[in-house]
């Protein structure tokens, strides 16, 4: 694994750019400063890894713009030791940022190819979520619930009620809601039955799909 002074210098520049774009959460910025994003993308794009761009990863999916990761992670208000569920592991970059922030991360990916890819990277960089699995994120992880935070990194046309039930009272879910364009939306669970909903502007994510590839083929 190569992560040299050039990569580190570029990461510092990226962090400066994110600050200029309005990201203020120091924990988020420090985590982005530590995670070697260039190792999560195809080596053909390595030299652009620290620009604020999205890139294709395997299976027609994308690793989000660093700004989107930073913004969405800031909205989660992660505290050290929080139990965080991520839907859509993808490359594993967002999960690694959460781990670096001191969260206990549980992550689900629907596509086997990406699940395998992220596992390899986690091993390589020695940043590991507490639990990573392959399956349908709409179901969440009932056996590990409740969670302090839930982050959905694919666009969902509907509000996944099952996920809301897996949130602790006082917990926050951040999710892009919509079809082609989404609205970055947060839900704060204020009681057993009540949630406060807030919206934070347009964003663009790949769509969240139901069921795993295996189930679809059957
Ligand atoms: N967080 C990722 C980017 C995610 S792209 C990163 O840091 O790289 C969105 C991911 O959500 C894709 O990998 C896609 O396969 C996955 N996905 C889509 N629908 C899903 C579902 N129902 N359950 C779990 N993962 C899903």
Peptide bond preceding 146: is omega within 30 degrees of 0, i.e. cis?
Answer: yes
Cα(166) to centroid(ligand 1), Å:
19
Judge whether 96 lies within some domain.
yes
Give the model's pLDDT for residue 47: 87
From first to last of its 218 residues, what are the pLDDT tens digits of the chain? 689 999 999 999 999 999 999 999 999 999 999 999 999 998 888 889 999 999 999 888 999 999 999 999 999 999 999 999 999 999 999 999 999 999 999 999 999 999 999 999 999 999 999 999 999 999 999 999 999 999 999 999 999 999 999 999 999 999 999 998 999 999 999 999 999 999 999 999 999 998 766 666 54
Give the active site residue among 64, 91, 118, 156. Answer: 64
Cα(5) to centroid(ligand 1), Å:
31
Q: What is the pLDDT of residues 112-125, one digit of tens each?
A: 999 999 999 999 99
Judge whether 24 lies within some domain.
no
Ligand 1 pocket mutation pick from 66, 89, 98, 132 by most atoms within 8 angstroms of CB:
89
Question: What backbone phi and psi angles, to 5 degrees, belong to 208?
Answer: -85, 130
Q: Does the beta carbon of 113 sit less than 6 angstroms from any atom of ligand 1?
A: no
Q: Does the beta carbon of 87 sit less than 6 angstroms from any atom of ligand 1?
A: yes
Judge whether 25 lies within some domain.
no
Judge whether 157 lies within some domain.
yes
Distances (CA, A) of 44 to 38, 40, 99: 10, 12, 26
User: Which of ligand 1's atoms lies nearest the C-alpha of 96?
Assistant: 7
Comparing CA positions, the residue from 168, 182, 206 lying closest to residue 61 is 206
User: Which of ligand 1's atoms lies nearest the C-alpha of 90?
Assistant: 13
Give the model's pLDDT for residue 160: 97
Give the model's pLDDT for residue 134: 95
- Specify the number of domains making up the chain: 1
- Which residue's alpha carbon is at the smallest distance from atom 16 of ligand 1? 88
Q: Does the beta carbon of 141 sit less than 6 angstroms from any atom of ligand 1?
A: no
Cα(208) to centroid(ligand 1), Å:
7
- Which residue's alpha carbon is at the smallest distance from atom 19 of ligand 1? 208
Give the model's pLDDT for residue 212: 66
Cβ-based neighbours of 183, under 8 Å, separated by 6 or more: 176, 177, 199, 200, 201, 202, 203
Q: CA–CA separation, 122 vs 92, rounded Å? A: 7
Question: Residue 148 CB: number of other CB atoms within 10 A?
Answer: 20
Give the model's pLDDT for residue 18: 98
Judge whether 48 lies within some domain.
no
Would you call 68 helix, strand, or coil by DSSP?
A: helix
Q: What range defines the domain where residue 142 resides?
A: 57-216
Comparing CA positions, the residue from 126, 115, 142, 129 lying closest to residue 212 is 115
Question: What backbone phi and psi angles, to 5 degrees, belong to 30?
Answer: -65, -40
Q: Does the beta carbon of 109 sit less than 6 angstroms from any atom of ligand 1?
A: yes
Concerning whether 64 is annotated as a catalytic residue, the answer is: yes
Judge whether 43 lies within some domain.
no
CATH number at residue 112: 3.40.50.150
Give the model's pLDDT for residue 211: 72
Ligand 1 pocket mutation pick from 59, 60, 64, 88 by most atoms within 8 angstroms of CB:
88
Judge whether 39 lies within some domain.
no
Judge whether 38 lies within some domain.
no
């Amino acid at each position: 694994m190569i992560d040299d002074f050039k990569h580190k210098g570029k990461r510092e520049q990226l962090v400066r750019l994110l600050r200029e774009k309005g990201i203020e959460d120091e924990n988020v910025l420090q985590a982005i400063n530590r995670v070697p994003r260039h190792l999560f993308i195809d080596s053909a794009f390595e030299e652009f890894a620290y620009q604020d761009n999205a890139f294709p990863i395997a299976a027609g999916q994308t690793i989000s713009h660093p700004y989107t990761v930073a913004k969405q992670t800031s909205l989660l208000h992660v505290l050290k030791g929080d139990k965080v569920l991520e839907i859509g592991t993808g490359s594993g970059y967002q999960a690694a940022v959460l781990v670096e922030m001191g969260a206990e991360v549980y992550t689900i990916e629907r596509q086997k190819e990406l699940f395998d890819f992220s596992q390899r990277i986690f091993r390589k960089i020695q940043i590991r979520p507490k639990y990573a699995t392959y399956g349908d994120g709409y179901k969440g992880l009932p056996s590990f619930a409740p969670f302090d935070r839930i982050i959905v990194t694919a666009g969902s046309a509907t509000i996944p009620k099952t996920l809301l039930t897996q949130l602790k009272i006082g917990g926050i879910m951040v999710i892009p809601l919509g079809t082609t364009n989404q609205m970055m939306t947060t839900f704060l669970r204020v009681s057993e039955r009540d949630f406060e909903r807030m919206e934070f502007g347009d964003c663009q994510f790949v769509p969240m799909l139901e069921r795993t590839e295996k189930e679809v083929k059957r």
